[in-house]
Chain A
Amino acid sequence: MDLALLEKLTQTYGPSGYEDAIRAVIGSAIEAVADETRVDPLGSLIGYRRGQGGAHDGKRVILAAHMDEIGLIITHVEEKGFLRFTSIGGVRAAHCIGTRATFANGITGPIYVERRDDASKLPELQHLYLDIGCADRASCPVRVGDTATFVGPLMQRGSRLISKALDDRIGCYVLIEVMRRLDNSAHDVYFAFTTQEEITLSGARTAAYRIEPDIAISVDVTATGDVPKALPMEVSLGQGPAVKVKDGGMIAHPHVRDRLVEAAERAGAPYQMEVLLGGTTDAAAMQLVRSGVPSGCLSIPCRYVHSPSEMVDQGDVEHAIEVLLSLLRETL
């Protein structure tokens, strides 16, 4: 794996709505391997690869991975300089305590929880604060509305990778690798690095409206059932990418789902079938654009989703790339 690229992808700042820096990183990574790139009005970066198949055999395909990450947004600066915040996307209070958050300009501090009379209950975001070391409000360089993301460096443990923002920079990585290795597809492929997935799926929705694809596939992370006392779920780390059947927001189109399964079998890649009970991906938005788009999702199994220490398996990532390459080489 190109861990240098993945490090840059995961460590670059980019909460939903503020994707400029990560868009620049991805833009320079795909410049040489795209026939065209453009940035659409909501900030999604589209890398286009022209197909060789002509109108008959070639389809218009979107592969979408979102480049935004979850984060925090400051709601109030206290007299003594402590910062109160709410979430951008699905941030859980229990994941925050004792971690660090960093702003676009590099200011960083720990998140902690105020003392509560009844500590037996889980805290909520309103009980947390961010301490960047300011003595008071007057000297605080952070303003209401400023955004921050988790600190979580990339590390490797055997075949596992651990970092913040693997949701969904690992999907961005997969798309970039597919662009690098793709040759001779019949299809016009639009690699969409989308914005604002974590809050509203807006970037994918508008990107798909403009592209008018025949087929839409998102590449995103999914939960697993392989950790202590997990809710039963048939997806495990290291058992291959997961072909989504259903999640909280979408039933995958059976045709797209079956093409992904066939692509995996052709590539000799292990794969898992996925039913995710909560949460969804860009595919749910792309499915409903205009008069409807057959949509599916190839998932990278991921533990500790939406924490500063998300974990994926390198084998699953590599196999996901192979499955997508195999998919794009065949008739859709």
Chain B
Amino acid sequence: METLELLTTLTEASGPAGYEHAVTHIVADLWRPWADEIRVDAMGNLIAVQQGTGPQPRRAVMAAAHLDEIGLIVTGFDGEFLRVHSLGGVDRRVLLGLSVRVHSRREIPGVIGSRPPHVLPPSERQNVLPWHEVMIDVGLPAEEVRALVRVGDPVTIRQSTMALKNGRVAGKAMDNRASVAALTLALEALRHREHAWDFYAVATVQEEVGVKGAITSAYGISPTIAVALDVTFARQYNDSNPGVFELGKGPTIGVGPNFHPQMVKRLAEAAESDEIPIELEPLPGSSGTDAWGIQVAREGIPSGLISIPVRYMHQPVETVALVDIERAGRLLAGFVCGLEHGYTPRWEDEV
């Protein structure tokens, strides 16, 4: 499958935090041809295993990309309208004018609007709506809305993924389906390449509400080392912050207390030997990614992070460069192939 088609399939699917199952099915179908074993754990994490070629006992490397996207959740009713709140870190400034899917017993289309500018007092025109005034209109009268929709039903944004010029793609849920796409490419590449270690590809759940799937899947798999794949901030208009990275210039490799220095070193070496451009991304505390949950699972798991730059994060027009996704997949595959039998990251080697 071409990367654009893969990314479109993944990003257009609906899977907000806690309700990822529809996307899990899609990814399971994509991964099954490349996996020796595939399963879903108690939290809903999708786990694909590729056995390594090294002698037993073999070590295991886990790669995690979160499957969930941010969304909304129905919190109540106001007449014919649905009151909602955020499921994950939703940017309330971009809600007006959206089309949405309300995932009730069956899916119901809806829109989010507000009073028109003509009738708004000037003082209110500049304001972002508070949550208790964000309403979804599904077109039904009040009593029918209450019969169809329950408090707690999840809501996702309806958005088609669109190819821009120059290999760039815009849509919702690039955070983090871009990484799921990269992980899919790595899984496919590793099927055709020899790797000594067992490889666990994990599409994790509930990252957006506290890296929860990463915490439990790392415990269950108990890998020797792990790499998380996530998105990072790409340079965009009016943004001169130092912590942003150019689109199309390759993925980043996280550096900081969340990451074992040998994971950073080996990822950088893998990039160099496969001539993949990367940038080092300093993350001085929590990376806010699955790597944060994985690092402290069980007795501690040396972890690394590969990030794909994205513009307009947590807005429905998140924009990525396809080449960054492909390079992230190649980087991960090269890193896994480079893990020699018997290798253990040791702090003693750092001193």
Residues of A near any B CB (own CB < 8 A):
225, 231-234, 245-246, 249, 251, 254, 257, 272-275, 277, 287-288, 290-294
Contact = CB atoms under 8 A, between A and B. Distances in A.
B145 to A, nearest CB: 13
A257 to B, nearest CB: 8
B42 A294 contact: yes
Interface string B104-124: 000000000000000000000
Nearest to B150: A273
Nearest to A245: B152
Contacts of A257: 152
B132 A234 contact: no
A291 B216 contact: yes
B42 A293 contact: yes
A275 B75 contact: yes
B215 interface: yes
A136 to B, nearest CB: 46
A234 B75 contact: yes
Interface in B100-149: 132
Given A290-B219, A292-B213, 18 more contacts: A232-B75, A232-B76, A233-B75, A234-B151, A245-B73, A245-B151, A245-B152, A246-B18, A251-B87, A251-B206, A251-B209, A254-B19, A275-B85, A291-B41, A291-B43, A291-B219, A291-B220, A294-B43
Contacts of B41: 291-292
A255 B42 CA distance: 11
A249 B216 CA distance: 16
Nearest to A235: B151
B295 to A, nearest CB: 15
Contacts, number: 74
Nearest to A246: B73
A41 B218 CA distance: 25
B144 to A, nearest CB: 17
Contacts of B43: 287, 291-292, 294
B20 to A, nearest CB: 10
Given A287-B212, A292-B42, A274 B152 contact: yes
B59 interface: no
Contacts of B76: 225, 232-234, 275
By secondary structure, the B interface counts as mixed
A120 to B, nearest CB: 23
A67 B273 CA distance: 58
A327 B150 CA distance: 21
A249 B74 CA distance: 17
Interface of B: 17-19, 41-43, 45, 73-78, 83, 85, 87, 132, 150-152, 206, 209-210, 212-213, 215-217, 219-220
Residue from A231, A251, A293 whose CB has the most chain B CB atoms within 10 Å: A251
A208 to B, nearest CB: 12
By secondary structure, the A interface counts as loop
Nearest to B213: A292
7 contacts: A234-B75, A251-B209, A275-B74, A275-B76, A275-B152, A288-B212, A292-B217
B151 A274 contact: yes
A257 B213 CA distance: 19
B73 A232 contact: no
B215 A231 contact: no
Query: What are the 10 tightest A-B residue pairs by CB atom distance, in nearest-first order?
Result: A245-B152, A291-B220, A251-B18, A292-B216, A292-B43, A273-B151, A234-B76, A292-B42, A275-B75, A273-B152
B151 A232 contact: no
B42 to A, nearest CB: 4
A325 B56 CA distance: 49
A87 to B, nearest CB: 24
A274 B219 CA distance: 30
A144 B17 CA distance: 44
B220 A277 contact: no
Nearest to A293: B42
B210 to A, nearest CB: 8
Contacts of A225: 76
B49 to A, nearest CB: 15
B42 A291 contact: yes
Nearest to A291: B220
Given A245-B151, A275-B85, A232 B132 contact: yes
A288 B214 CA distance: 10
A154 to B, nearest CB: 31
Contacts of A287: 43, 212
Given A245-B151, A273-B152, A290 B216 contact: yes
A211 to B, nearest CB: 14
Given A251-B209, A291-B219, A291-B220, A231 B132 contact: yes
